[in-house]
Amino acid sequence: MDVPLSAIVSSGIGGAAVALITHLTNRPRVRAEARKLDAEAERTKAETAKLLAEVTTPPDSNAITDRPQGWHVTGSHPEDYSYGLDTQLHQSGTASAFIRAQASPRGFGAYVQTVRAANYVGKRIRLSAVMRTKDVAQHAAIWLRVDAQGNQLAFENTQSDTRMLSGTSGWVRREIVLDVPLEGEDILYGAFLTGSGCVWIDSFTFEIVDTDIPLTGEVDPPLTRPINLDFSQGLA
């Protein structure tokens, strides 16, 4: 038979015991809510990655007059974000670029720049930038992609749990190291903001590096032969 908390109090057990029982009773609900929030965050990150993998430079991005010279604005809902230069807050030079969410933003807003891949095919490149955030509810990151004939050949961004930025932070450097396939035709890169808040981006670098510099997106090296095809070798 269920006993109401009021009855427990009246029986003389005391407020501390009631608090403990209430805590234990609420724990499953709290865990369920945490799992729901984690699942929602993972879904948002997956959707952002998918959309970034399909990004092109939209012709109407030129209508946004505050975009930095040489950069275009893109994203799933670029109109829900503001873009421009901040001459007061920058890490080097005379200005940084920012992406600031408007009220109740949908999806993400991003900067993109495209260069021809001819000088980089068959080589390893590193894209890096410094970023700082204020009140970012979801995440901010940089991204890098290699295309050929409208198809994605390689793609990575820094919205993984260990590299994404959220909340409020000072200047932090983020980088991506990627191999450019021999078939590569275009290289696209930039930064994006998902959800409310503001991100500042400064000091982008784009360079060829030696192959002894590790790839940032490679969790395990490619296999030289198939293994564990019958799943009898246990877990990793």
- Residue 7 has what pLDDT? 43
Please check whether residues 72 and 114 belong to one and the same domain. yes
- Predicted model pTM: 0.70
The answer to whether 181 touches 118, Cβ cutoff 8 Å, is: no
Please check whether residues 32 and 97 belong to one and the same domain. no
Please check whether residues 136 and 40 belong to one and the same domain. no
In-domain check, residue 224: no
Please check whether residues 76 and 156 belong to one and the same domain. yes
In-domain check, residue 150: yes
* Helices vs strands, H then E, count in the chain: 2, 9
Please check whether residues 85 and 130 belong to one and the same domain. yes
- For residue 124, list its beta bridge partners: 179, 209
In-domain check, residue 113: yes
- Residue 163 has what pLDDT? 83
Residue 75, sorted as left (phi over 0), alpha (psi -120 to 50) or beta, turns out to be left
Please check whether residues 74 and 140 belong to one and the same domain. yes
In-domain check, residue 97: yes
The answer to whether 44 touches 194, Cβ cutoff 8 Å, is: yes
- Residue 34 has what pLDDT? 56
- Residue 5 has what pLDDT? 40
Q: How many domains in the chain?
A: 2
Please check whether residues 18 and 108 belong to one and the same domain. no
- Residue 19 has what pLDDT? 56
In-domain check, residue 225: no
Distances (CA, A) of 231 to 207, 219, 220, 224: 41, 20, 18, 18
CATH number at residue 126: 2.60.120.260
In-domain check, residue 37: yes
- Residue 224 has what pLDDT? 80
Please check whether residues 95 and 116 belong to one and the same domain. yes
In-domain check, residue 34: yes
Please check whether residues 31 and 135 belong to one and the same domain. no
pLDDT in tens, the chain (236 residues): 454 444 434 444 455 555 555 555 566 665 666 565 555 555 555 555 555 655 555 444 444 457 899 999 999 999 999 999 999 999 999 999 999 999 999 999 999 999 999 999 999 999 999 999 999 999 999 999 999 998 899 999 998 768 889 999 999 999 999 999 999 999 999 999 999 999 999 999 999 999 999 999 765 556 788 888 888 887 76
Q: Where are the beta strands (DSSP E) in the chain?
A: 72-75, 81-86, 96-101, 108-116, 124-148, 151-157, 165-179, 186-194, 198-209
The answer to whether 216 touches 177, Cβ cutoff 8 Å, is: yes
Please check whether residues 82 and 186 belong to one and the same domain. yes
- Residue 195 has what pLDDT? 96
Residue 208 to residue 182: CA distance in whole angstroms: 15
Residue 91 to residue 114: CA distance in whole angstroms: 24
Please check whether residues 28 and 96 belong to one and the same domain. no
Range of the domain at 117: 53-209
Please check whether residues 167 and 196 belong to one and the same domain. yes
